[in-house]
Amino acid sequence: MTEEMLPRKKLGLLGCGDIGRYHLLAYRDLVDLVACCDIRPEAAEAFKREFGFVRSYTRMEDLMADPDIELVDVCTQVSIDPNSLTNSRFAAVQAGAPTGKHFLIEKPLAWEIDSAREIVEMCDRAGVRLGIGHRFRYTSTMNRAKELLKSDGYGDPFHAVYLLSHFGWSPPKPYARRPQMTIMEIGIHAFDLFRYLLDDEPTSVYCVTGRGGMRGVEDGPGDTHFDAIVKFRRGCVGNIYLSIDNYVGRKSWQTNWYGEVLVECSKGAIEVAGPDDESTLRHAGPDGRVEAIAAEGESTGFRGLMVEMLRALRDDREPTMSGRDHLNTLATSFAAYESADSGRPVVPRLFEPALR
């Protein structure tokens, strides 16, 4: 399916910050840019000028009431006030879904599972589609890894490893002040990637969190690295090591932005590794031949997210990274924190059936 066959949608962007910029740079040619909105007027105005939006707003309510907008990309933080449970995504969907707007929303959907579930239900009631920003799924190498794992040749996955060690990243302020930080901000991608690649759900999570020397969050309470063992229904065991404490730097041990993944199966193995723009998929099937496939196209996965969103709207179906599917990624992330607190493996409270 070529991108050229995708429907063009009229887009509103909520949140003109770091990730809003990455989104637009990756997919702006696929949509019509109608309006952008940020509570910081200078940010909204700067995005309007730079990307060519027709208008800009400073009140979310005005963006949601704009009758021209069909699809809203929500790139705010969950909440700008770390002490408040006010969820900017909740407020956006509450105002925009009844007017027929579809949503692509950055992860995590909420900091409480009930709030996330209500957002999913609001979209259901309004008959609009909800996709979540799990971009790690949609790089060209990860797409190919998923295809290979779905094919029969590799047999059953029995062991999966995810490794990510970051240097020089600072979490947005609200996250830095929260007790639940690195798993909610980055680790959630790893749990999501395992669920997606293995096409399976976790039965238990054992996790240990810690704080290292991460600069910029010295006064915060949150985790800066964690180790997790995740068992899956069909027997695969996943290992995650994720850290934002890496002092060594990019040229040595640091992995790329979406980590390195190895999946060992009964008849072969698949590995995705290397820096973002040179990420390589290596796989060895039952014949023992090793093939390396280099990444193609836009390397962050943000374009792939929008492509999947537009395909879902064209085909009148849920996007694969739907809000409903995200509930189980969130449940797995919360189980990891519960395990770290209790020192025991925890069974995630999953929603059934998850859709993928």
**For binding to ligand NAD (CB under 6 A), which residues are involved?**
14-20, 37-40, 43, 60, 75-78, 80, 88, 106-107, 133, 135, 172, 185
Q: Minimum CB separation from ligand NAD for residue 286, in Å?
A: 34
Closer to ligand NAD by CB, 155 or 172: give it. Answer: 172
Q: How many CA atoms lie within 13 A of 330 on its CB side?
A: 24
In the complex, the smallest distance separating the C-beta of residue 330 from ligand NAD, rounded to whole angstroms, is 13
Nearer to ligand NAD, 283 or 332 (CB): 332
275 burial type by CB count under 10 A (0-12 exposed, 13-18 middle, 19+ buried)? middle
Q: Say if strands 55-57 and 32-37 run parallel, antiparallel, or are unpaired.
A: parallel
Say how far apart CA 4 and CA 267 lie, in whole Å: 37
Shortest CB 132 distance to ligand NAD, Å:
9
CA distance 52 to 9: 15
* Position 264, amino acid: E
In the complex, the smallest distance separating the C-beta of residue 222 from ligand NAD, rounded to whole angstroms, is 13
Q: Cβ closer to ligand NAD: 155 or 174? A: 174
- Residue among 96, 20, 40 nearest 63 (CA): 96
Residue 167, number of CB atoms within 10 A of its CB = 18
Three-state DSSP class for residue 356: coil
Could you tell me the smallest distance in angstroms from the CB atom of residue 264 to ligand NAD? 26
- Tell me how many degrees the CA angle 154-278-74 measures, rounded to the nearest 5: 90
- Closest separation in Å from C-beta 320 to ligand NAD: 15
Residue with the CB atom nearest ligand NAD in the bound state: 17
| Cβ nearer to ligand NAD, comparing 59 with 234 | 59
- 349-to-114, 203, 232 alpha-carbon distances in Å: 12, 9, 14
Q: Using the minimum distance from each CB to ligand NAD, give the nearer residue, 187 or 238.
A: 187
Between 78 and 312, CB nearer to ligand NAD = 78
